[in-house]
Structure 1
Amino acid sequence: MGPANLALPADGSRFIADYLIETPLDPAQVAEVMAGEQSCGTFVRVEGETDQLRERARAVVTGIDVLESVDEPSLPNAWQQRQKIAGPYHRARVRIAFPVENVGPNLPTLAATVAGNLFDLGEVTGLRLLDVALPAAYRRQFDMPKHGIAGTRRLTGVGDAPLLGTIIKPNVGLSADETAALVGRLCEAGVDFIKDDEVCANPGHAPLEQRVRAVMRRVRDYQDKSGCRVMVAFNITDELDAMRRHAELVEREGGSCVMVGMNWCGFSAVQSLRRSTPLALHGHRNGFGMMSREPLLGMSFAAYQSMWRLAGVDHLHVHGLNGKFSEFNDEVIESARACLAPMAGDDAVMPVFSNGQWAGTVRPTFDAIGSSDVIFLSGGGILAHPDGAAAGVASLRQAWAAARAGIALDEYAKDAPELRRAIAFYGAKLK
């Protein structure tokens, strides 16, 4: 479902949330219930809810687009059963404007306002948050990315090309020294970026402190020899105090980036981490599927990323085209475009493409977003290349060069042996 026109009031007094709802009731009536529930109202007018207060604090419905109707509800609903309410079930797109003063620069409360109890309303058999639009001045009251796209490029020394990287594999099981040895080989292979897997944070077989020290020795040695600054995103996902300690360790060891599993740490922890570290924050969205895969429940990535950007992350995962996960390509493309779209000035974040990516997915990625401002992660596409990891990295660089020059992949591969081998190897496996 494409973006709606979320026209903000000129005075910056309200922010807008865009929803898809399903209900057996009149969608206009339900929209008013939503607006009241998430501002100053409840199911009946209460003492103290004066006209003046409502004028100042009540959310208002700014748009309703009635869509199709269906015979069966998307989700069960005990309230409707008790009321003996049946279908048909009407779907509609609803836009609601909330007063900025109701929330202030409070990210958890902003999330509770645009989402929160709305998902539990008895009037709906489906509700999905599609997008959130904030006035620029209000957005700037929250945390901005400390590095974003330009800063990430400065930290790595990569100019206008995509950052090509990979993930530590095996996911878990390697000791600290084994991990460091792999990182050393990957640096020699020519990657710009290396990250931990989301399930490897501080395991007993490779404690994070040992791993950071061992890995950064290899990274520093490679930088001294080559002048190249490889960015490593260490997974420091944990409780807040531990994450702060881990980030300080990475900083002391000369690192430039840490990774956080955002959904499991929460807005407040990531905000606090952002304010306590100068490192780039690599936002991993694992778990987002439980919020997004049901079309009439949860939220779209457009809404999700707009809130996480307020926590100050610099990179956000968007999955990848033709990858191994469930998302359709158009969803991945919309996610990447959302990350690259400014909310208030220069606050875009770098989309991170990963899962099942190789040289053959480069061209559709570049054609879809028209930008090289990406982190392009390839695990098997680098580490499984038949001629080794260096050839895997070379094949990706060649694929990006072909895409940016508008040259067909097969044509470019005639003079690029690493790319030619990648097409033969991975292409055959995908058939």
Structure 2
Amino acid sequence: MTASRVTATYRIETAYPLQDAAESMAGEQSTGTFVRLPGETDELRERCGARIERLTELDTVAAPSLPGAGLPKGAGPNPVYRRAEVVLSWSLENFGTSLPNLVATVAGNLYELRAFSGMRLIDIGLPAEFANAYGGPKFGIAGTRRLTGVEGRPVIGTIVKPSVGMGPEATAALVDTLAEAGIDFIKDDELQADGPHCPFEARVRAVMAVVNRHADRTGKKVMFAFNITGDLDEMRRRHDLVLGLGGTCVMASLNSVGLVGMIELGRFTQLPIHAHRNGWGYLSREPSLGWSYVAWQKLWRLAGADHMHVNGLQNKFCEPDDSVIASAKACLTPMFADKPCIAMPVFSSGQSAKQPPATYAALGSADLIFAAGGGIMAHPDGPAAGLMSLRQSWEAAMEGVPLADYASSRPALARALETYGG
């Protein structure tokens, strides 16, 4: 019986012949090293060696994109650096259904090979065995909608700001204001965890007292994503506190807790996991290095992330809009035929009432969390009007009505557009 295979797609740049460069990748990440080994039989190479499934030349450049790259013998004073797309595959027998060991294979030492002046992981293809080995999102879109009571439109939320500096009671007072306005979702900033000025337990107790009081009165429970980022025992204790007080979401910083931390949290949690990608820029900002979000987010979805941050259109960071939409679409794309592992994309970063029409037109779905900080809190008529302006903007987007026309009879939206542009 033929073993299942994992595939990985890369964009590479090299001054070496492309076939030689691709073979060095395959050898380094499977059976080979810089010389042929005594035990490296043809049978072993056939069974366990990485295969070059496809090699497509793209273009050339005159200078290397990254430092430290070597040159082949006879390259001359003006070498040409070729770019190509390479698809490699590995037998699942090499590492089994282990996400940490998968990462060591598809994103390991090959980034350091001297033959390359560019190396970026674009996508990963995983066989169905991974779906059986990992739980994936326990709540995802359907569970998030059930817990928030929001159907037929995006879940509209915000972030506690200032990011740090407020104590538990001040945080709870802000939540009181937002809950009164009818917010669906609130999250801790990723910088707020368990500092002495705002201890985690005191913050959770103060916030949940407010959330539960509003829920008892209105029947709507605001979903608050408490930042439980920490070591494994800390995250478990914090999760249990949130759960015991009636909370409906926890948050973890992916690059801080790591893949194993997220896997263990995913296995343990009884609440949705709001997965924050802070630090993503160091994995992605250099276009010749790192990861594509399309590949990266698959690991975290399998590990158990229910919500995945994707940035936002016209954001305050460096990511272009087409990249943001590609990331969001990736989160909504099923991973396996029998186990979709779909996560809810989270749009944030400088969002306000001006972005929903373009967001909806590009994504073609309302299955998202739309989180705005200043877009709600800085509305000139207050947070309730800020929240109303976002809902009205999304109504216009989903009904196909131009934003200016929709705003003509809706003061909250009109004031938002005056304030934020658009």
For 1:75, the aligned partner's letter is L
- 1: distance between equivalents of 2:89 and 2:325? 27
Q: Say whether 1:73 aligns with 2:64.
A: yes
* Partner of residue 46, structure 1: 37
Unaligned runs of 5+ in 1: 1-9
* Partner of residue 271, structure 2: 279
Shift of 1:139: 3.2
- 1: distance between equivalents of 2:277 and 2:81? 32
* Partner of residue 346, structure 1: 340
* Partner of residue 357, structure 1: 351
Shift of 1:239: 1.2
CA contact (8 A) 1:12 1:137 kept: no
* Partner of residue 87, structure 2: 95
Shift of 1:43: 1.7
* Partner of residue 360, structure 2: 366
For 2:12, the aligned partner's letter is I
Give the one of 374, 384, 393 matched to 1:380: 374
Q: 2:355 aligns to what SS in structure 1? A: helix
Summarize the Cα distance change of 1:268–1:224 in structure 2 as closer, same or farther, 3 Å threshold: same
Q: 1:125 aligns to what SS in structure 2? A: strand
Summarize the Cα distance change of 1:11–1:397 in structure 2 as closer, same or farther, 3 Å threshold: farther
Q: 2:21 aligns to what SS in structure 1? A: helix
Percent same amino acid among aligned pairs? 52
Q: Say whether 1:258 aligns with 2:250.
A: yes
Residues 394-423 of structure 1 deviation map (CA, whole Å, 9 limit, x = unaligned):
111111111111000011112211111111
Cα RMSD (Å): 1.7
Summarize the Cα distance change of 1:93–1:414 in structure 2 as closer, same or farther, 3 Å threshold: same
CA contact (8 A) 1:12 1:135 kept: no
For 1:93, the aligned partner's letter is E
Total equivalences in the alignment = 419
* Partner of residue 182, structure 2: 190
For 2:263, the aligned partner's letter is Q
* Partner of residue 206, structure 1: 198
Q: 1:128 aligns to what SS in structure 2? A: strand
Q: 1:371 aligns to what SS in structure 2? A: coil
* Partner of residue 417, structure 2: 423
Summarize the Cα distance change of 1:12–1:136 in structure 2 as closer, same or farther, 3 Å threshold: farther
Residues 256-299 of structure 1 deviation map (CA, whole Å, 9 limit, x = unaligned):
11111100110001111111111111110000101101110001
* Partner of residue 48, structure 2: 57
Give the one of 385, 390, 395 matched to 1:391: 385
- 2: distance between equivalents of 1:41 and 1:139? 29
CA contact (8 A) 1:256 1:280 kept: yes
Q: Say whether 1:295 aligns with 2:290.
A: no
Shift of 1:85: 7.5
* Partner of residue 7, structure 1: none
Q: 2:282 aligns to what SS in structure 1? A: helix
CA contact (8 A) 2:69 2:115 kept: no
Which runs of 4 or more aligned residues in structure 1 lie more than 4 Å from their structure 2 counterparts after TM superposition? 78-86
TM-score, structure 2 as length reference:
0.96
CA contact (8 A) 2:69 2:117 kept: no
